[in-house]
Structure 1
Amino acid sequence: MTGGPAGLPRLACFDLDNTLIDRDASFVAWAEWWVARAGLGREVVEWLLANDEGGFRERPELFVGVKARFGLGGDVGAMVEAYDREHPLFTSAEPAVLNGLTSLRTAGWRVAVVTNGGTLQQAIKLEHTGIGAVVDFKCISESVGVRKPDPRIFKIAAEYTGATLEGGWMVGDHPAYDIAGGIAAGLSTIRIGNHHPTEATPDRTPTYHFSSVLQTFPVILAS
Structure 2
Amino acid sequence: MRRRLVLFDLDNTLIDRSATFTRWTAEFVSERRLHDAAAAWFADNDGDGFVPRERLFAEARIRFRLPDSVEALCATYRDRMPQLAHCRPEVLAGLADLRRAGRRVGVVTNGHPRQQVATMRYTGVAECVDGWAASVEEGVRKPARRLFEIAAARCGVASLADGGWCVGDDPTADIGGGRAAGLDTIWVRRVSEWPIGPAGAEDPPDHQVTDVVDAFAIIRAEDATEASSRSGG
Match of 1:198 in 2: 195
Q: 2-side partners of 1:123 and 1:158: how far apart?
A: 16
Q: 2-side partners of 1:160 and 1:67: how far apart?
A: 38
RMSD value, Cα: 1.6
User: What's the CA shift string for 1:127-161, capped at 9, x where partnerless?
Assistant: 00000011000211122222110111112222222
Q: 1-side partners of 2:183 and 2:194: how far apart?
A: 22
Equivalent residues of 2:143, 2:178 under 8 A apart: yes
Please state how far the C-alpha of 1:60 moved relative to its aligned partner: 1.2
Q: In the alignment, is residue 124 of structure 1 matched against residue 141 of structure 2?
A: no
Cα distance change of structure 1 residues 152 and 202 upon mapping to structure 2, 3 Å threshold: farther
Match of 2:106 in 1: 112
- Comparing 205-214 and 161-170, the one that deviates more: 161-170
Match of 1:188 in 2: 184
User: What's the CA shift string for 1:1-32, capped at 9, x where partnerless?
Assistant: 63x5xxxxx10000000000000000000000
Q: Aligned to 1:67, which of 43, 61, 68?
A: 61
Match of 1:176 in 2: 172
Question: Normalising to structure 1: TM-score of the pair?
Answer: 0.92
- Comparing 41-50 and 164-173, the one that deviates more: 164-173
Match of 2:35 in 1: 41
Q: Look up the SS of the partner of 1:198 in the other structure.
A: coil
> Letter of the aligned partner of 2:61 in structure 1?
K
Cα distance change of structure 1 residues 157 and 70 upon mapping to structure 2, 3 Å threshold: closer
Q: Look up the SS of the partner of 2:141 in the other structure.
A: coil
Q: Look up the SS of the partner of 1:139 in the other structure.
A: strand
> Letter of the aligned partner of 2:183 in structure 1?
L
> Letter of the aligned partner of 2:195 in structure 1?
T
Please state how far the C-alpha of 1:41 moved relative to its aligned partner: 1.9
Match of 1:91 in 2: 85
Relative contact order (alpha carbons < 8 A, sep ≥ 6): 1 or 2 greater?
Answer: 1
Question: Normalising to structure 2: TM-score of the pair?
Answer: 0.88
> Letter of the aligned partner of 1:114 in structure 2?
V
Gap runs ≥5 in structure 2: 223-233
Gap runs ≥5 in structure 1: 5-9
> Letter of the aligned partner of 1:198 in structure 2?
P
- Comparing 149-158 and 209-218, the one that deviates more: 149-158
Q: 1-side partners of 2:132 and 2:123: how far apart?
A: 13
Q: Look up the SS of the partner of 2:10 in the other structure.
A: coil
Q: Look up the SS of the partner of 1:111 in the other structure.
A: strand
Q: 1-side partners of 2:86 and 2:41: how far apart?
A: 24
User: What's the CA shift string for 1:85-110, capped at 9, x where partnerless?
Assistant: 11111100000000000010011100
